[in-house]
């Protein structure tokens, strides 16, 4: 339970500074942990760390368990003798402000394969232990090897129906024919989690806890849907979804949001005690100290859109597993802290489920700028058991939001939060969030840096996202000292300043 008044910073691993095109689990991640300590923070929030697929979204991954190979730090591999210094020459990117995923796809895997060839026999006991402890790994590695064999096509488009349907003879044949590729995908996961858990230990030893996201849905083109189709609402002969996930039209989108993820067969999941979910959350809990459950309202009711629709207008609300499932989370994971992402269309039933769980919900200051002050996102309407944000990764930093704000919303924000122009609005909203009665305040690093829309992490419903990165000089001692004073001044620091 998050019960101590505290603060943290949201910075995805991909957004860390680095010289190789994307943030990694190396030196700059350790430097950021040190920065958090100097800034008197208690939490580091990251986005999902999974192996991303088409569109590079961390919410659409090839596996619920596997880590993102791009996050494996190359300098650490060089230190271990898995790469040579000459291997790293010529791959430094010129534009350090944004991730170029196309360039990464072309250049990173050849390096990781070389590290695999140099290290495949270097850690026999440690590697075997890793394989034995991660029961998801064989299916994932076979899935990725077959995808590579078929030109990275979605498993629904694999030309061999026998492997699509996981028939025994085909499974055994591909395991034999693709043994080297299977070993490669297992090995890079070994490297990822080796680096990740070393970093996590360093962060935790510094007194910082990691908040990680758990997407409620998983990608159709994922190992889990291929390996366990019975857990999803699919045509069990062709494996095609009957309906897919999304949210209906609202204030933010007249067409709604069509996510396209397969929906869960909650009746089947209920019949085996939600075993699939227990295993999934157990895996995530080994990586994060606090789990933010994405789209929490989907456990009460979820929007189901007929497969093949071009938008989310035509859909229906379906009953979720509600308190029966949440009780399983509460009783099974008694040592795990959860945050419920309770944004979107929230009715009394969702509120009742959140109150039943005891999980803190979210309050987003950008959503509370209505001029009658009635929104529960307004800082004056917060409660203790919630997490206050200025904005989430799906929103503009506050400077960008205010540049686009309606005149009446801008005038209201100036009145309530006490700033005169857009130049000082970020500091004003940070002070407001720090002052909230909420038990935890989280700000994106972009807001501490006073950045605008160019630093938005994701614009829902569009491509070309997840690219913003911090520059090395952004994490300055001056900024850390400023955040530390604010954190202490609003009684959110982990211990008194000396």
Q: Is 181 a catalytic residue?
A: no
Query: Nearest Cα to 137, choosing from 187, 180, 181?
Result: 187
Q: Is 177 a catalytic residue?
A: no
SS3 readout for 458-478? CCCCCCCCCCECCCHHHCCHH
CA distances to 49, 218, 272 from 280, rounded to whole Å, are 14, 11, 14
Asked if residue 461 lies in contact with residue 452, where contact means CB atoms within 8 angstroms, the answer is no
Buried b (16+ CB within 10 A) or exposed e, 467-476: bbbbeeebbe
Which of 28, 186, 289, 341 is the catalytic position? Answer: 341
Which of 34, 87, 394, 474 is the catalytic position? Answer: 394
Q: How far apart are the first and last CA of the chain?
A: 28
Query: Nearest Cα to 248, choosing from 319, 311, 340?
Result: 311
Q: Which residues are within 8 A (CB) of 21 and not within 5 positions of it... i.e. 6 or more apart? A: 91, 92, 93, 99, 100, 103, 104, 107
CA dihedral 274, 275, 280, 281 (to 10 degrees): 60
Spatial distance between the Cα atoms of 149 and 146, rounded to a whole number of angstroms: 5
CA angle (215 as vertex; 210, 219 as ends), nearest 5: 135
How many other CB atoms are there within 10 angstroms of residue 51's CB atom?
25
Q: Is 341 a catalytic residue?
A: yes
CA distances to 97, 275, 352, 439 from 384, rounded to whole Å, are 37, 33, 17, 5
Q: Quick one: residue 92, left, alpha or beta (phi over 0 = left, psi -120 to 50 = alpha)?
A: beta
Interhelix angle 179-205/101-119, nearest 10 degrees: 100
Which of 87, 162, 294, 424 is the catalytic position? Answer: 294
398-406 LR contacts (CB < 8 Å, sep 24+): 398/365, 398/366, 398/425, 398/426, 398/429, 398/447, 399/425, 399/426, 399/447, 399/450, 399/451, 399/452, 399/453, 400/451, 400/452, 400/453, 400/454, 400/455, 400/456, 401/366, 403/452, 403/453, 404/453, 405/369
Spatial distance between the Cα atoms of 47 and 420, rounded to a whole number of angstroms: 33
Asked if residue 369 lies in contact with residue 426, where contact means CB atoms within 8 angstroms, the answer is no
Q: Indicate which residues carry an active-site annotation.
A: 294, 341, 394
């Amino acid at each position: 339970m998050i019960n101590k008044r505290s603060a943290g910073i949201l910075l995805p691993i991909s957004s860390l500074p680095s010289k190789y095109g994307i943030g990694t689990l190396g030196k700059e991640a350790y430097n950021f942990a040190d920065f958090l300590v100097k800034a008197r923070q208690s939490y580091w929030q990251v986005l999902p760390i999974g192996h991303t697929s088409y569109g590079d979204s961390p919410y659409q991954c090839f596996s619920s368990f596997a880590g993102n190979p791009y996050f494996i730090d190359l300098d650490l591999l060089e230190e271990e003798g898995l790469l040579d210094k000459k291997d790293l020459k010529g791959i430094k990117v010129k534009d350090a402000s944004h991730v170029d995923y196309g360039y990464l796809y072309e250049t990173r895997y050849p390096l990781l394969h070389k590290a695999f060839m140099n290290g495949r026999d270097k850690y026999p006991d440690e590697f075997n232990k890793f394989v034995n402890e991660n029961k998801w790994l064989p299916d994932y590695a076979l899935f990725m090897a077959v995808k590579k064999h078929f030109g990275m096509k979605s498993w629904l488009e694999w030309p061999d129906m026998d492997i699509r349907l996981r028939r025994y003879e085909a499974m055994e044949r591909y395991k034999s024919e693709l043994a080297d590729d299977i070993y490669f995908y297992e090995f890079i996961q070994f490297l990822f989690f080796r680096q990740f858990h070393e970093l996590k230990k360093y962060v935790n030893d510094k007194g910082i806890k990691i908040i990680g996201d758990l997407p409620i849905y998983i990608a159709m083109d994922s190992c889990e849907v291929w390996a366990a189709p019975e857990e999803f609402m699919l045509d069990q002969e062709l494996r095609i979804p009957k309906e897919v996930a999304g949210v209906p039209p609202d204030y933010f989108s007249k067409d709604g949001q069509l996510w396209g993820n397969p929906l869960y067969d909650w009746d089947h999941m209920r019949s085996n005690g939600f075993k699939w979910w227990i295993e999934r959350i157990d895996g995530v809990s080994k990586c994060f100290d606090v789990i933010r459950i994405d789209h929490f309202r989907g456990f009460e009711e979820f929007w189901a859109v007929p497969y093949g629709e071009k938008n989310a207008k035509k859909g229906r609300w379906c009953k979720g597993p509600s308190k029966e499932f949440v009780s399983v989370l509460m009783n099974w994971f008694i040592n795990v802290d959860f945050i419920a992402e309770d944004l979107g269309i929230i009715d009394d039933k969702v509120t009742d489920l959140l109150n039943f769980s005891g999980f803190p919900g979210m309050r987003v200051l950008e959503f509370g700028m209505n001029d009658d002050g009635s929104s529960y996102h307004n800082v004056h309407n917060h409660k203790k058991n919630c997490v206050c944000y200025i904005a989430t990764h799906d929103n503009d930093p506050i400077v960008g939001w205010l540049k686009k704000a309606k005149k009446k919303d801008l005038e209201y924000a100036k009145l309530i939060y006490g700033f005169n122009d857009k130049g000082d609005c970020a500091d004003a909203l940070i002070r407001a969030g720090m002052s909230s009665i909420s038990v935890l305040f989280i700000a994106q690093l972009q807001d501490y840096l006073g950045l605008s829309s160019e630093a938005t992490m994701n614009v829902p419903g569009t491509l070309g996202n997840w690219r913003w990165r911090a520059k090395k000089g952004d994490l300055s001692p001056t900024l850390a000292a400023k955040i530390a004073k604010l954190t202490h001044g609003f009684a959110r620091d982990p211990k008194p300043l000396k």
